[in-house]
């Protein structure tokens, strides 16, 4: 653990490393994914505050979390496809492809799906945990009040 802390202190730092990866993966697409992540975090906090509210309001919050998480994943995969097309176009114009250059291009195309996948996993885990924490009696009370 101590060596991990020392290596983190010697490196650029988490946020500078994150910034470098965002720039490397394509600032436009990565920024969209990060905005989805931040919006999803806001929706998760909102859903936590709505645990005791009616079933419709809570389900709407969960649905929004899931949709934003899926959007981040799709943006990541779409940007990867666009990046792969650019990589293959660049290598098609070269006569002799260097494997290191090819591997570097593939690494760059994988950054946005990784960020999108991370956002998707966090969103799905949050919706699962929130649904699990929700008291089922709240749903029953909501159903009873709507049938009256």
Its domain, for residue 70, covers 2-147
pLDDT at 47: 92
Ordered per-residue pLDDT tens for the chain, 148 residues: 555 555 555 567 877 877 787 777 778 999 999 999 999 999 999 999 988 888 888 899 999 999 999 999 999 999 999 988 888 887 788 777 777 877 887 888 888 999 999 999 999 999 999 999 887 765 555 555 555 5
pLDDT at 134: 86
Query: What's the 3-state SS for the chain?
Result: CHHHHHHHHHCCCHHHHHHHHHHHHCHHHHHHHHHHHHHHHHHHHHHHHCCCCCHHHHHHHHHHHHHHHHHHHHHHHHHHHHHHHHHHHHHHCCCCCCHHHHHHHHHHHHHHHHHHHHHHHHHHHHHHHHHHHCCHHHHHHHHHHHHC
pLDDT at 2: 54
pLDDT at 52: 85
pLDDT at 81: 92
Structurally, how many domains does the chain consist of? 1
């Amino acid at each position: 653990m101590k060596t991990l802390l020392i290596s983190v202190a010697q490196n650029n730092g988490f946020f500078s490393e994150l910034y470098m990866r965002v720039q490397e993966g394509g600032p436009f697409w990565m920024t969209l994914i990060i905005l989805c992540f931040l919006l999803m975090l806001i929706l998760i906090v909102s859903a936590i505050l709505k645990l005791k509210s009616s079933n419709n309001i809570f389900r709407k919050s969960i649905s929004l979390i899931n949709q934003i998480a899926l959007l981040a994943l799709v943006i990541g995969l779409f940007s990867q496809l666009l990046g792969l097309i650019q990589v293959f176009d660049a290598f098609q114009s070269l006569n002799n492809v260097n494997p290191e250059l090819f591997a570097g291009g593939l690494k760059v195309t994988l950054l946005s799906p990784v960020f999108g996948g991370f956002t998707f996993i966090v969103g799905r885990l949050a919706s699962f945990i929130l649904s699990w924490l929700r008291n089922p009696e709240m749903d029953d009370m909501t159903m009873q009040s709507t049938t009256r």
